[in-house]
Structures are given as C-alpha cells and as structure tokens.
Structure 1
C-alpha cells in the first residue's frame, strides 16, 4: 500500500528553493481527489508526518500544509513539528474569535502561519499581526487590486512576508518582485510533483480497539500500551507523534531511553485521543505485507523475553523495540538511518538496528537464525548468550503464541 503527496516548490527572489507546499493526492494522478479538505489534511498528516519519512533531519526547507478552520480549532496543527511546518489557513476559513484564539496560541508556541489565497477582506486585519506569510493569488486578483491593498495597509503588513502564488510568466514574477514580494510559487517555476512512498498499515482490529480504549470514561494506560506494542505501525507513529509534541511544548528535539509505556504516560489521555484521531481513522486499507508485520511481532516479543533474563526493565523495553522495528526498512523500503532519524530512540537501539552491533543486535540475530532454521548457528549463538537450546526454543514458542493472539485477518 502506498501514500501519495504532491510537492510544489516555493522560491525566494533569487529563485532559491526555500520550501514546498504539500498537496494531498490519492494516486499518481496529479489532481486533488474528491474528498473534503478535512479528510485530505488529516490523511496527509498521518501519511507524511507519522507514517512516511518527510526527509532527513538536516533538510532545511519548510513544508506548507493546508488547514481548514475546524482542524485548526481542534488543535490538529499542534501535532506537527513546528520547526519544519508552515500552517496555511485555507481561504474558506471563517475569521471568527475561535480561529483568532487558535492563531495566537500557535504563534505563541512558535509555529509559523500563512493566509492562503488571501481575500484581502478587512475581516482578516486583526489576524495579520500574528501571520508570518500572506499568499496572494495573482490570477484571481489583478495586479492593481493587490497593489492597492498593499499600499493601503503598508503599516499593517510591515512584519509580514508576501508570497505571490500562481505565477505563470516571467513578467508576472518581475512585476511582483518589484512590488516587494519575497516569495513566489507557480507553474512558471515548478508544477506540483507527485511522490509515492510505502505506507505503514495498521492491524485494523487493534486500531479499532485502541480507538475504543482511549475513548472510554476511564482508559487503562496499561491496556493502551499493550495495544500499541502489538502493532509496528502504531508504535512507530506514536513515537514520532510524541517527539513532535515534546519539541513543540518544551523545545526538546528528542527524548532517549523512553519505552512505549513512558510515552503513553507522558502524552496523557487527551493527546492519546488526538493521536488516535489522526493515526487510526485514515488508514484502514488492507495490509498486503501481513507476514512481515507478524514476523516483526514475534521478533519483538522474543527479544523482550531474552532481555528479561537480565532483570532490566529498560533493557527489555529496548529489546522489544529493536525486534519490532528490525524489519521497518523492508516495510517502508527506506534506509534505517533515515527511519531512525524520525524517532527518538536510545543509542543502544540505534547501535543494534543501524550498525548491527551490540547485545540487542545479537538478540535479533538469534531470532533470524531460528527463522532461517540454521539450528547449529542458533545453538552456538544461544550458548554465547549463556542460554540453553531448550530455554531459547521455549521463548520462541512463547513469542509465536503471543503473536498468534492477533485477531484472524490482518487489516480485514
């Protein structure tokens, strides 16, 4: 299963690429599908910010994401990384006091905001001091209308960057550059380009159970943790989600040595409910790689059982994570160094997954030897870990039974 997104570049006055607008797509066909703006934004967030890498950590270009009124008021924008994203307020949004309060809160949190397809209505005047970028549609409004508005409101706009969108000719580019516009977007520079990436799919049964669990009157955090642990997709996504929330609220770019239980407790029930809204409601397609997910779960439990003999809860938690994510590069067809850059994990987990070294890696290697039925090598590895063949075989059987508790029919 694949996720699709179109990216249209945004340029500065020297024609350097400084950002991209992300446009929702549901196929390689480069047009907006017949869905609501709310559905498009929610699915784009889930696919591009939690399920598929949006670029290496050192990528500096901003990404612009369209938000309709209700999703902004509901706080959905706050789930995204504020150092990467510019929140575009759709022109269909009602400039009411609810939206203004949201805009002020987002700006206070450190988000950058843009008014998309700006209507030049005076109803937006009170918003402009809180807005970083205003996008003028140069095809919808004439040069004279735009120039008149800018001259009339020069004091109001003094701290706002002006972006001319839908530029189609060099003449338009030069004209608006002379008018003081600093950013540009349109077919003259670049048409939207559609990208396809592998999509992390959920076990539908667990997603539904998770949705049910977080919305009951007294949610059980242990039960929520257990549901997350049994699905590689949800585990990966909630770690990325938590990383965004931590950065947005505390300015911390990542927390290390955190288990899924730690993350569940840290987020709290309100954030967990918002996570479920984004991550679970948009991805109920059929899982075509069920066997890979199943194998990931067996590895995760097996590694946890191996580590539990060390009497270290933290080591058991990290071992579970190493096993769970050991096939993530296969699922997403993306190098592990890119994937590990999207979540905050301990150096030991990175050492095992990315560098194939350390004790945690040996746990995964032992699981692989059993999967490949290399009995002699598996026996030797077990001996090096101080374990008998019978003990290790019992652990593998326990892990398999645990994974077999999945409801029949992955994603059905």
Structure 2
C-alpha cells in the first residue's frame, strides 16, 4: 500500500534549508483531506520516520510536525529524537496548565517547540507558555501590521525565533527579513512536495496480542512473550527496528535479536509505539502475495534458528532467527536490500549476511534457501557447515513447516481475511 507525506522547506536568512514541515496527505493530489487530527499526525509520524525515512524525506534535517493535545499528553513526541523533531502546537490547542507542563518537560529534554499561527496576543495563558517556546510561526497574511510589531517586540522579551509563513512574493520576503524574521516558509520558496513510500502491512492479530500482553503492569510484562509475538510478524519487527534507529533511544549496540530490540526499547516505549499505530489505523494484510512472503519469512527464520541450534554455533540462535526473518525484507519493502538493511540497527555480521557476504549466518541462510528451492546442489555445498546431513535438514524443514502452519492457523487466518 502506498503512503504519502508532503514536505515544505523552511529557509533561514541565508536562503538555506533549515528544516521541513511535514504535512498529512492521502494521495499524490497536493491538498489536505479532512481527517481526524490525531490520525493525521500519527500517519505523518509513522510514514515519515518508519516507512519513508527521514534520510530520504528531509535529508535528516529537523522536521516540524503538528501535535494534538491528545498526542502531547500521551508524550508521543518523546519517542522521537529531539534533534530530528520540532514539536508544533496548533493555534486551536488550549494553553492549559497541563499543556504548559508538557511543554516544560519537552523543553527540558531538548525538544524545540514551535507555536503556530500566533495572532491573538491577549489569549489566556499565552505568556505562561512562551518561556517554553522556541519558535513563533506568524501567518503574515492574517496578522495586522500593529500586531506584527507587537509580536516582534515579544520575541525580544522571550528570546524567540520568528518564522514567517505564507510568504508568496519577493517583496514579502525582503520585508520580513528587514523586520527581524529569521526563518521563512511559503509558496515563494516552494509549494509542499509529495513524497511517497510503500507501507508494509502487518497482521492485526499480532497487533492485538501485543496490546493485550503490554496491558499488564511494567513488572508483570513478560518480555519472552512479547518477543514471541513479534517473531510472528516481520512487518511489526521491521517497524520496531526502524523506530529504534530513529528514536531518542537510538542504539549504540547493534541489535542481534528481536528480544534485544524489545529490551533496548522498553515496555513503556513499546506501549507508546502501539498507541501511535492504533491511531494510524494501518491497513491489515490482505494481499495473498504478501501473506506468502511473510509466511516464507517465518519458515526461513525457524529453519535458520533450528539449524544453528543443531550445529551448536558460537553465535546465539536468536541471531539466526532474525537473519532468516529479515531475509525477504527487500521484497516486502520493494527497495534494494542494501538501502533497507543499512537503515536498520542490526549486528554487523547479520547485516553482512543479508547483503550476501559469506559468514556463518549467510551459510545457514543459503542452506535454508537451497532447501526451499529444492536446489540440492546448493544445499549439498553448505551441508559441510557443522557436519549436518540431509536427513537432519529434511527433519528441520518438516518441523519448521509444521510450526509455521500452526502459527499461521492460530493467529493469522482470521486477521488476513
């Protein structure tokens, strides 16, 4: 399923791109379609940070994203890297004590906060909020000249950066510069540009299992069970790895297993991630081709794991499961394997194996692929690994098929229909 995000550049006084504002779109038609604000923001977040990726969408420059009260109170911005995200508060949001508290906490954690469409300077609690705001966005077409000068004086009192939006002419650009605006956005520079990507569908069955498992208290959450659920769905695992790579908890230690990824992220962050997914309402798996690919990923994962256990490799079996699990990610995402794998925080040896480099992970994966294709020449050339024989491989293959079929029948049949 294709997904879309619109981006519009924000320039500095040197006419260089400082950041991009990311906007909700549901097609290649460049206009906003009315939608629930929580869902719009959630889709922008997931499509930008996970599906498309900031390296492509914004060249890793900061991104302005609108946040609703609900998402702010759920602390959703805190999941993402403060170096990549500018939290934009819309004009209709109530400047309540709770909102001010949230902004104070975000500011303390290094997030930049932008206040959109500042027009009414007499608005209740505005001055209590401003100490925690970094950027004031001013619609130069909506603000009177008198209020504009009041806003400019206000920025000096609170050390704020002024952003002029809806700049449409060269004259307006120069006038805003002379008035002290430091950032600029509008059709004069660029209209919003649509960027599209391919969404990876996931099984609603595994999603609801995750919700159920994480609904327990933090002390009662069973990490083994959460890992087991994720090991059933390559799409959710891929999203998890992408989120880890783009979050403020970006890992310094490469991921060697799904369990390690879960533990690095933590149950509270997992709950936050699932909340965003629930609001986003991503479409479940429906394509028979996609179902087949995901099922094959499961089969490969189980076979790689069981062969590793059988031959007693020095590396943990979890890493072999992850290698098999991610071995078709290029087919699922419809992107070159190098492009996809390099975006994931995987262990170097696992990455190299997925990219085709010969190592123990690759040898076992090739053995599995040889069995899958009934290519006995390839299979035989790899049987020397650990001294495993044809009989054992066929036994493992049969067990892996039985495991995959049972898993598929128990959890996926209903959600895929």
TM-score, normalising length: structure 2:
0.90
Give the SS at the match of 2:201. coil
**Unaligned runs of at least 5 residues, structure 2:** none
Task: Tell me the distance in 2 between the aligned counterparts of 1:196 and 1:154.
Answer: 37
Residue in structure 1 matched with residue 48 of structure 2 by the alignment: 48
Residue in structure 2 matched with residue 255 of structure 1 by the alignment: 253
Contact 1:136 1:164 in 2 (8 A): yes
Task: Tell me the distance in 2 between the aligned counterparts of 1:91 and 1:58.
Answer: 25
Q: State how 1:272-283 maps to structure 2 within 5 Å.
A: 272-281=270-279, 282-283=281-282
Residue in structure 2 matched with residue 264 of structure 1 by the alignment: 262
Residue in structure 2 matched with residue 113 of structure 1 by the alignment: 113
Give the SS at the match of 1:9. strand
Q: State how 1:259-338 maps to structure 2 within 5 Å.
A: 259-281=257-279, 282-288=281-287, 289-311=290-312, 315-338=316-339
Task: Tell me the distance in 2 between the aligned counterparts of 1:72 and 1:390.
Answer: 57
Task: Tell me the distance in 1 between the aligned counterparts of 2:181 and 2:277.
Answer: 38
1:59 deviation in Å? 3.3
1:103 deviation in Å? 1.0
Number of equivalent positions? 406
1:314 deviation in Å? 5.2
Q: State how 1:124-203 maps to structure 2 within 5 Å.
A: 124-151=126-153, 153-158=154-159, 160-203=160-203
Residue in structure 1 matched with residue 96 of structure 2 by the alignment: 96
Contact 1:366 1:381 in 2 (8 A): yes
1:137 deviation in Å? 0.9
Which deviates more, 171-180 or 124-133? 124-133
Task: Tell me the distance in 2 between the aligned counterparts of 1:243 and 1:29.
Answer: 30
Residue in structure 1 matched with residue 213 of structure 2 by the alignment: 213
Task: Tell me the distance in 2 between the aligned counterparts of 1:57 and 1:315.
Answer: 36
Residue in structure 2 matched with residue 86 of structure 1 by the alignment: 86
Q: State how 1:10-89 maps to structure 2 within 5 Å.
A: 10-55=10-55, 59-89=59-89
Contact 1:202 1:233 in 2 (8 A): yes
1:154–1:383 CA distance, 2 compared to 1 (3 A): closer
Task: Tell me the distance in 2 between the aligned counterparts of 1:184 and 1:100.
Answer: 26
1:79–1:379 CA distance, 2 compared to 1 (3 A): same
Contact 1:91 1:118 in 2 (8 A): yes
1:141–1:58 CA distance, 2 compared to 1 (3 A): closer
Give the SS at the match of 1:156. helix
**Unaligned runs of at least 5 residues, structure 1:** none
Task: Tell me the distance in 2 between the aligned counterparts of 1:306 and 1:397.
Answer: 12
Which deviates more, 258-267 or 324-333? 258-267
Contact 1:167 1:186 in 2 (8 A): yes
Task: Tell me the distance in 2 between the aligned counterparts of 1:237 and 1:200.
Answer: 9
1:285–1:143 CA distance, 2 compared to 1 (3 A): farther
Task: Tell me the distance in 2 between the aligned counterparts of 1:267 and 1:223.
Answer: 15
Task: Tell me the distance in 2 between the aligned counterparts of 1:260 and 1:253.
Answer: 14
Contact 2:52 2:196 in 1 (8 A): no
